[in-house]
């Protein structure tokens, strides 16, 4: 697979890593100070709070999300359709529930006999969640990643670990979160112990997206709307590319103000690279008027984000935030506006998986109206149609 696009992969990696360093250099700082690995963000105060920035970002979030909410709520309810095959909740789903429940109790308590393993509760919590969300999808549709595409499902774990380490690297520039109660020791030990929970991110988000997609009402009205006019559509990938380049560079120059771009700029680069290479992606879906993949990916990121913050709250090893300008109204450890970052993060999870498992798009060909009326059921549905 890599042999078909090594140049694209290497250029993308170079931009993702190099652009923030370029920004630091342009700001007159030493880029080498940001190359420590594994990254170890230091505790920092949130800085000055600004109601002006809080209100501006809140209004931007509301303006972005409201059209989707209004469209879904006012759209005609989809006609009832037979599911491909309903199934009983599987035994491994009950196993996942058991793992999740036990891990939750262990994570939020401090049993002396469990002390040596106390730092490692986050991984079984999310393994339990991943089993449960796949079981729920199986129960509703008779299909799920874990059962029907096991190889793909397993590859998501190592891909996820590398994926989240990149965001730890970006956090070195903005210092929005840091860890307490963590491991002390050799860099290799820290890297391996942290990679275990990082490996659960993509399977959780992609599994949640598949489950949400099994509820057609959640994305009603988004299958054929807001088509991008042809002149703008041809420019959109280049706009995304330049915006992503500028955003990642700007993070290194003005981290106190551009920190939200940590969640947006990588996504813009990813979809731009995919679109310019002729691959089907979130941007091309948006251009042809099918906004369901964006909406469902964003919702999956937000739902997982809620559980990340919930289970993080009382765990021994956990993260805290120091978000400049808007650090107020916390829900668990996260400032309220910070949850909006999970919306583009969910899309980035979808985009990175699409990048490594591309769906080729024939130039100039759009899906017919019958295709657009078919509910989006994520990767599982796409594979089952082939």
Query: What is the per-residue DSSP string for 204-219?
Result: HHHHHHHHHHT-GGGG
Segment 132-172, tens digit of pLDDT: 999 999 999 999 999 999 999 999 999 999 999 999 999 99
Selected residue with higher pLDDT from 287 and 187 = 287
Q: Is 146 in contact with 137 (CB distance < 8 Å)?
A: no
Query: Which among 5-9, 35-39, 114-118 has the top mean pLDDT?
Result: 114-118
Domain ranges of the chain: 2-384
Q: Which pLDDT belongs to residue 361?
A: 46
Question: Does 381 score more than 60 pLDDT?
Answer: no
Selected residue with higher pLDDT from 121 and 36 = 121
Q: Which pLDDT belongs to residue 326?
A: 85
Q: Which pLDDT belongs to residue 8?
A: 82
The rounded mean pLDDT for the chain is 87
Band of residue 77 on the pLDDT scale cut at 50, 70, 90: confident
Band of residue 264 on the pLDDT scale cut at 50, 70, 90: very high
Question: How far from the centroid of its chain's Cα atoms is residue 315's Cα?
Answer: 22
Question: Does 119 score more than 80 pLDDT?
Answer: yes
C-alpha to C-alpha distance for 255 and 261, rounded to whole angstroms: 9
Report the 10 Å Cβ neighbour count for 335. Answer: 20
Q: Which pLDDT belongs to residue 301?
A: 97
Q: Taking the CA of residue 218 as centre, how many other CA atoms within 13 Å lie in the half-sphere pointing to its CB?
A: 19
Band of residue 342 on the pLDDT scale cut at 50, 70, 90: very high
Selected residue with higher pLDDT from 230 and 284 = 284
Compute the average pLDDT of residues 270-282.
90
Choice among 14-28, 54-68, 75-89, 192-206 with the minimum mean pLDDT: 75-89
C-alpha distance from residue 286 to each of 26, 109, 214, 226 (Å): 35, 45, 20, 8
Handedness of CA 114, 118, 124, 128 (dihedral sign): positive
C-alpha to C-alpha distance for 326 and 58, rounded to whole angstroms: 10
Would the pTM of this model clear 0.75, i.e. be above it? yes
Segment 207-236, tens digit of pLDDT: 999 999 999 999 999 998 888 888 888 899
| Coarse DSSP helix, strand, coil percentages of the chain, rounded to the nearest 5 percent | 70, 5, 25
Helix (H, G, I), strand (E, B) or coil at 155: helix
């Amino acid at each position: 697979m890599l042999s078909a696009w090594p140049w694209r992969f290497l250029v993308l990696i170079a931009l993702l890593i190099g652009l923030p360093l370029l920004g630091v250099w342009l700001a007159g700082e030493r880029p080498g100070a940001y190359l420590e690995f594994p990254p170890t963000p230091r505790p920092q105060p949130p800085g000055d709070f600004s109601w002006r920035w809080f209100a501006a970002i809140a209004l931007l979030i509301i303006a972005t999300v409201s059209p989707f909410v209004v469209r879904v709520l006012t759209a005609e309810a989809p006609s009832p359709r037979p599911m491909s095959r309903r199934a009983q909740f599987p035994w491994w789903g009950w196993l996942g529930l058991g793992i999740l429940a036990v891990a939750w109790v262990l994570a939020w308590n401090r049993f002396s006999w469990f002390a040596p393993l106390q730092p490692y509760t986050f991984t079984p919590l999310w393994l339990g969640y991943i089993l449960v969300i796949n079981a729920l999808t199986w129960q509703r549709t008779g299909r799920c990643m874990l059962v029907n595409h096991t190889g793909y499902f397993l590859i998501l774990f190592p891909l996820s670990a590398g994926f989240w380490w990149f965001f730890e690297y970006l956090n070195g520039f903005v210092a929005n979160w840091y860890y307490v109660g963590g491991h002390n020791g050799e860099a290799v030990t820290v890297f391996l112990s942290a990679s275990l929970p990082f490996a659960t991110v993509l399977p959780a988000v992609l599994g949640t997206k598949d489950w949400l997609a099994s509820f057609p009402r959640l994305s009603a009205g988004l299958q054929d709307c807001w088509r991008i006019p042809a002149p703008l559509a041809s420019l959109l990938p280049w706009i995304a590319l330049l915006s992503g380049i500028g955003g990642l560079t700007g993070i290194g120059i003005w981290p106190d103000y551009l920190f939200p771009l940590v969640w947006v700029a990588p996504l813009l680069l990813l979809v731009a690279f995919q679109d310019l290479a002729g691959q089907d992606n979130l941007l091309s879906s948006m251009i042809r008027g099918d906004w369901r993949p964006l909406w469902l990916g964003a919702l999956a990121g937000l739902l997982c984000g809620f559980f990340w913050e919930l289970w993080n709250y009382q765990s021994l090893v956990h993260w805290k935030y120091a978000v400049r300008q808007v650090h107020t109204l916390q829900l668990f450890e996260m400032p309220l506006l910070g949850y909006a970052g999970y919306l583009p993060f969910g899309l980035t999870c979808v985009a990175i998986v699409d990048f490594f498992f591309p769906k080729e798009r024939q130039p100039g060909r759009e899906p017919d109206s019958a295709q657009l009326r078919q509910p989006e059921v994520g990767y599982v549905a796409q594979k089952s149609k082939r």
